Structure 1
Amino acid sequence: MSPETHAQLASFIWSICNLLRGPYKRNEYRKVILPLTVLKRFDSVLAPTKAKALAAFETVKDKSENIVKATLCNVTGVEFYNISKLDFARLLDDPNNIALNLNSYISAFSPNVREIMERFKFGEQVAQMQAKNLLYEVIKSFNTIDLSLQRVDNMQMGYVFEELIRIGAEQANEEAGEHFTPREVIKLMVNLLLTDEGDLTTSHIVKTIYDPACGTGGMLSTAESHIRALNQEASPHLFGQDWNDESYAVCKADMLIKGENADNIRMGDIFTEDRFPHDTFDYMLANPPFGVSWKQQEKAIGKEHESRGYEGRFGAGLPRINDGALLFLQHMLSKMRRPEQGGSRIGIVFNGSPLFTGDAGSGESEIRRWIIENDWLEAVVALPDQLFYNTGIFTYIWVLTNRKMPHRKGKIQLLDARSFFVKMRKSLGNKRNEIADGENGRPDQIAEIVRLYGAFRDGECSRIFANEDFGYAKITVERPLRLNFQASPERLARLEQERGFQALAGSAKKDPAARALEIQAGQARQQAIRDALGRLDPAKLYLDRKQFKKDLKAACAGMSPQLAQAELKPILAALGERDEAAAICMDAKGAPEPDSSLRDTESVPLKESIQDYFRREVLPHVPDAWIDESKTRIGYEIPLTRHFYKYTPPRPLAEIEAEIKTLEREIMAMLGEGAA
């Protein structure tokens, strides 16, 4: 069956949607078409063994479910069965009870098919179609379609079903981006991931492919097709997990339809319920949701991070709560095979945030640092904007592996493919661009991007960097605190607003009498401090804190008890002001105290000496500065767009002036015509 025939059959099946118009919105058609296509396919596949399966069931119906499954699947030759005497044709014999009989027929399937129908919530659609008098005609139309193995083999049926998935996703484009990655993006990812994989042509090679956010299974299917195109004898095994009911149902149905092991598609949230806790994989692909909060899973993720560290999945760090993208990547990295076992390759789609969000020492930066210092990041490809259905933003493919080729070790390749697109004739939601794949006479932009990736050379759209180029040391530059002091009326008035001074006349006691006594004593203490400060010369300006404190101590000599540190602090805050001409304030150890208002930070490339940078870039401007080495943090970021920035000079002033004068003449002419 040719691709054109696949599309024709899918189009014919989708044409049944004409019966649904009115009661169903266009974006709801898939809720009927996809599950009924699954049922009709399974009905057609089981037809030749129907009688034998029913007879075999009579011999094991009192046995355990495992024995029933093993016996009946042995008869049917596939991983599912049905023990009802009904089929699509017999459903039409009783129009008055078609809804009841259809539900009974579905409930007679093996548990794996029943689960798919439950996740589709197909019972709700049966009830709705019956209520609108549509069910009989829809079943009748599906019964005219021949989906037997003799007419459509498993691979061909997979193509047909995936075409239906695509049509349904495009017609529901306002939500498609949550579950559907554009075909050309998947094709590009798979080509980047599998290029130069020489062992794929080995006879009967077995490869495992995993997608932790598998959605409807597009990435898994495309990877499988690519491998089989290279080697018909290859054996790709597909694994996936998703927690959206409908997407999971579609993906699992697709696997069953194609004769794959559908039990390898599992339901659940990977962050709280990893359904492949002990598995590793050869290849991994994912398009996790962009900018999705992980607040709901925070407790489980935090517990694993704290208790298991690098023995778990999230040892490198936790990103900010409103974007869990890097959690997906850490999860995938935890499932890499060891290099001595062949290693793994990973492709993942991100928005721009994971490239640079997070300062040095933050969760995001620490995750990037862990990845880059382990030499796992191989390439980042910047894609055009307006590629996805639910967002117009720029996106990026990260390629990672723990078995880099020798010439790539210690290197990271950045590819700028933002200009590799063609405009779509008709937009789908936010999707207005697509990367051409050479079909229908268009350029093969996917092949060109893959060629640039494989060439691994510097050029207009490709840059090669050392891992260390993306690292930096964030240093904290301190400058000394310089204060003058004066007991002037204006500064003494500020003392009354200092919280530490106000707190002296406060009380936390609940007993009214005790509270009143404590407040009274505090007020007396406040007055004693005022009196002591009044003995200082209000006109004298101190340029040395040490001398001021000495005179202050003398002024407070008569106080009992002596001035406490908690009382001294608000006095110094109220009577002191920053003054570049003042002496440096020293701490108890004789070291300069830093002025927090003058504190600054500098990012020093890892390849450069911090001291050399400091002497060259900082000291010439602020000679009294120093580095607080206790605050130095190592950070990593990937400023991809900066490396491909092209300066565009402003237009000449004469050209702009001439254009303005032309516009002025046109406006005056228009005003003259209006007046006439």
Structure 2
Amino acid sequence: MNQQALSAFIWSVADLLRGDYKQADYGKVILPFTVLRRLDCVLEPTKQAVLDEFKAKAAAGINAEPFLLRKSGQTFYNTSRLDMGVLIGDQDNIASNLHFYIQGFSADVRDIFERFEFAAQVDRLAKAKLLYQVTEKFARIDLHPDKVSNYQMGLAFEELIRKFSELSNETAGEHFTPREVIRLMVNLLFVEDDAVLSKPGVVRTIYDPTAGTGGMLSISDEYLADHNDQARLVMHGQELNPESYAICKADMLIKGQDVSNIVFGNTLSDDGHPEKKFDYMLSNPPFGVEWKKVEKEIRAEHEQRGFNGRFGPGLPRVSDGSLLFLLHLVSKMRPSVDGGSRFGIVLNGSPLFTGGAGSGESEIRRYVLENDLVEAIIALPTDMFYNTGISTYVWVLSNRKPDHRKGKVQLIDASAFWRKMRKSLGSKRKEMGEADIASVTKLFGGFTEAQIATVHDPDGKEVRREIVADGEKPPVAPEGGKVKLAPLSRIFANEAFGYRTITVERPQRDSKGKILLGIKGKAKGKPQADSSLRDTENVPLGEEVDAYFVREVLPHARDAWIDHEKTKVGYEIPFNRQFYVFEPPRPLVEIDADLKKVTRRILKMIGELSA
């Protein structure tokens, strides 16, 4: 079954609900029924074998669970004689039978339907006399993985959540990430480890603290399976939204994962995987969402546990908690002596530069840069996400950098690597194609500086683009055309993003202009500072403070001095500044000539009108 047919079927169910349900509530029915039918189809081939085993073990008084799991061939089972095909054969008892069928599942599956609040929806559908029709419609479609792949199923769930979120004015982007962004992140995560991951029987762990519907975990698993079908990725995650959690857990069940590794709850206030460390991690935390609801718990951990907890380096402002997720992932890194970790996280532009020296944001940046954890930051195109058109960045962090990356950070401006979508989805108007993803992955993997060469014809129209690696020659411009070069990949030392904020003081003076001196304590005999004249300067870490002061301050204020006790170290990553290319304005002669042409044309048109 193709994706379009699957989506069309699922949406046809909405026609049954129209009138009895608000549009925003369609998902409360369609999502759990889709999951139920998926699980029903997966268990169908082993249904009878499980029932026979259950009967035999019950008669012998033996705990049947391990035997039933083996018979089902899955990490879940159902001991009811019912399935969806049988359910629609008894229209009069459909509600009670459906409740009985759900109770026949193993505990992890029952938890999924509790998160969906499925029992309440069954009763509501029965009251509206719609339950049989909806059940019958789903019973007629085959959602077995042989017919509908996990990838297709994931896309279908994401489309449903996006549409239902739009109808209810919720934020769809909080629940899942566009698939091409995940593919890029997965490539960046694994590209340097291809040799290790290709070994037979290799086992690695991966974690997503904002798991959504499990897209990041699933695509990571698909990547590894494509490259080494003997490798195994053990998945872990946590999710706050009940419906997304239920879908993620169902997906992990079908994949044969241990679903106890998928935890429900708020990652920041209630870590579902305390003390655990992971080989790889991925996350797309919500952009610009405040953490006021869990402020008490987070501040308590910061103040009481310090660097023994997750938030030792500092706390960002309450209005944006995205850097808290970055710190959470840092705390989950496996020690470098045990093999280390690498993770990718999607952040908006704010964490790059918000907050001056000494602020929580700056201290977090300082911690990850001074500890040499940042491998690369990649700027994505705008309009890539379903709920926002703002600039976004993928940060790649690792505590096992290869030697050639140590002490350095790579910045890649991939904002031009996109193609326009045929149809916009919410705020998403652009997507990265396979070639775009491959180009960015190559730039990261190659760890080299590069430029993007844009070739224009004589009319100024863009003809093509080429990536020019360091040391390569740019393309030759066509006759009458030109080639524009712009930085694409740049490499910096960690300390290039650090600075010292110095406080520059100037003396108080009396009405006659005489400098006022202190009369007691440490200030005795020294000029008193005038707070109204106080100023600050940011001095790059690589520069001597005194030399900077003599060159930049004293020529303009001969009586100034530095209050060294107030000096603070800060870090910021002015990403856009590193890729800015100054284009000089056209010569005035050309501008004058164009203005004269336009003026003559306007005068001619006026003359024709008055004739």
Please classify the TM superposition score into its range, dividing by the shorter chain length. 0.7 to 0.9
**Where does residue 109 of structure 2 map in the other structure?**
113
Written as runs of structure 1 = structure 2, the 5 A alignment for 1:425-440 is: 425-437=422-434
1:398 corresponds, among 395, 404, 411, to 395
Does 1:608 pair with 2:534? no
Q: Which amino acid aligns with 2:504?
A: V
- Is contact 2:412–2:490 with CA below 8 Å preserved after alignment? yes
* Mapped partners of 1:340, 1:9: distance in 2: 50
Aligned to 1:451: 442
- Partner-residue secondary structure (3-state), 1:195: helix
Residue 583, structure 1, aligned to residue 515, structure 2: yes
Of 98-107 and 339-348, deviating more is 98-107
Does structure 1 residue 230 correspond to structure 2 residue 250? no
- The aligned residue for residue 211 of structure 2 is 214
Q: Residue type matched to 2:445 in 1? A: G
State the distance in 2 between where 1:668 and 1:445 align: 49
Q: Does the 8 Å CA contact 1:173/1:389 hold for their aligned counterparts?
A: no
Check whether the contact 2:158–2:213 (CA below 8 A) recurs between aligned residues.
Answer: no
Structure 2 CA distance for partners of 1:123 and 1:658, relative to 1, 3 Å: farther
Q: Is 2:160 aligned against 1:168?
A: yes
Change (3 A) 1:669 1:629: same
- Which string of whole-angstrom CA distances, capped at 9 and with x for unpartnered residues, describes residues 43-92 of structure 1? 2333344344445445666999x945334324323222223222112211
Select 1:327's aligned residue among 317, 324, 333: 324
Letter in 2 for 1:46: L
Secondary structure at the counterpart of residue 396 of structure 1? strand
Unaligned runs of 5+ in 1: 438-443, 485-542, 544-580
Paired with 2:519 and 2:545, the residues of 1 have a C-alpha distance of 26
Measure how far apart 1:15 and its partner are.
5.3
Aligned: 1:634 with 2:569: yes
Q: In structure 2, what is the equivalent of residue 546 of structure 1?
A: none
The letter of the residue matching 1:376 is: L
1-structure distance, mates of 2:415, 2:529:
46
- 2:36 matched to 1:104? no
Is the 1:27–1:168 Cα contact (8 Å) retained in structure 2? no
SS where residue 205 of structure 2 aligns? strand
User: What is the SS of the residue equivalent to 2:192?
Assistant: coil
Summarize the Cα distance change of 1:423–1:8 in structure 2 as closer, same or farther, 3 Å threshold: closer
Offset of 1:204 from its aligned partner?
0.5
- Between structures 1 and 2, the one with greater helix share: 1
Alignment of 1:182 onto 2:178? yes
Indicate conservation of the 8 Å contact 1:468/1:607, yes or no.
Answer: yes
- 1:594 paired with 2:594, answer no
In 1, the alpha carbon distance for the partners of 2:12 and 2:64 equals 36
AA of the residue aligned to 1:166: E
Instruction: Give the distance between the partners of 1:383 and 1:416, measured in 2 at CA.
Output: 7
Deviation at 1:158, TM superposition (A): 1.7
Q: Please list, as runs of the form range in 1=range in 2, the aligned pairs for 1:65-144 lying within 5 A after superposition.
A: 67-144=63-140
Correspondent of 2:579 among 644, 650, 662:
644
Provide, for residues 358-407 of structure 1, a one-character-per-residue CA deviation record: whole Å limited to 9, x for no partner: 10011111111111010000100011111011100000000000000100
- Give the match for residue 47 of structure 2: 50
| Structure 1 contact 189–347 (Cα < 8 Å) conserved | yes
- How far is 1:433 from its partner? 0.9
* Deviation, structure 1 residue 160: 3.1
Give the SS at the match of 1:163.
Answer: helix
- Give RMSD over aligned pairs: 2.6
Supply the distance in 1 between the matched residues of 2:41 and 2:429 (Cα, whole angstroms): 39
Does the 8 A contact of 1:16 with 1:138 survive in 2?
no
**Which TM-score applies when normalising by structure 2?**
0.87
| Residues 1:479 and 1:62: Cα distance change in structure 2 (over 3 Å) | farther
Q: Distance in 2 between matches of 1:585 and 1:672?
A: 78
Distance of aligned partners of 1:661 and 1:286 in 2 relative to their CA distance in 1, 3 Å threshold: same
The alpha carbon displacement at 1:261 in A equals 1.6
SS in 2 for 1:624: coil
User: Does the aligned pair in 1 maintain the 2:517–2:525 contact within 8 Å?
Assistant: no
Q: Which residue of 2 aligns with 1:467?
A: 494
Q: C-alpha distance in 2, partners of 1:6/1:283?
A: 32
Match of 2:505 in 1: 478
Pairing 1:530-541 to 2, within 5 Å after superposition = none
Alignment-derived partner of residue 37 in structure 2: 40
Question: CA offset at residue 176 of structure 1?
Answer: 1.6
Structure 1 residue 129, shift from structure 2 partner = 3.6
CA distance, structure 2, for counterparts of residue 298 and residue 314 of structure 1: 12
Deviation at 1:644, TM superposition (A): 0.2
Question: In the alignment, is residue 159 of structure 1 matched against residue 169 of structure 2?
Answer: no
- Structure 2 unaligned segments of length 5 or more: list them: 451-486
Aligned to 1:177, what secondary structure does the other structure show?
helix
Does the Cα contact within 8 Å between 2:504 and 2:563 map onto a contact in 1?
yes
Q: Aligned residues, how many? A: 566
Aligned equivalents of 1:207 and 1:63: distance in 2? 40
CA contact (8 A) 1:373 1:467 kept: yes
> 1:655 Cα shift?
5.2
Question: Which of 347, 372, 377 does residue 375 from structure 1 map onto?
Answer: 372
- Paired with 2:44 and 2:345, the residues of 1 have a C-alpha distance of 41
Secondary structure of 1:116's counterpart equals helix
TM-score by length of 1: 0.79
Offset at 1:611? 0.9
Greater strand share, 1 or 2? 2
Higher normalized contact order (CA 8 Å, seq sep 6+, divided by chain length): 1
- For residue 464 of structure 1, what is the amino acid of its counterpart? I
- Which has the higher mean CA deviation after the structures are superposed, 290-299 or 117-126? 117-126
Q: Is the 8 A contact 1:472 1:604 kept in 2?
A: yes
Distance 1:665 1:131 in 2: 77
The one-letter code matched in structure 1 to 2:535 is: D
**2:358 paired residue number:** 361
- Equivalent-residue separation in structure 2 for 1:87 and 1:12 (angstroms): 24
**Aligned pairs (5 A) from 1:273-352:** 273-352=270-349
Aligned 8 A contact 2:379 2:392 in 1:
yes
Cα offsets for 1:264-312 (capped at 9, x unmatched): 1110111221111011000000000111111111111111111111111
CA contact under 8 A between 1:173 and 1:390: conserved in structure 2? no
Query: Are the equivalent residues in 2 in contact too, given 1:193–1:347 (CA < 8 A)?
Result: yes
Could you say which residue in structure 2 is the equivalent of 1:624? 559
Taking the aligned partners of 1:148 and 1:436, their CA distance within structure 2 comes to 29
> Structure 1 426/41 Cα, relative in aligned 2: closer, same or farther at 3 Å?
closer
How far did residue 99 of structure 1 move? 2.6
Closer, same or farther: CA 427–47 of 1 in aligned 2, 3 Å? closer
- Displacement of 1:425 in angstroms is 1.4
Aligned to 1:531: none
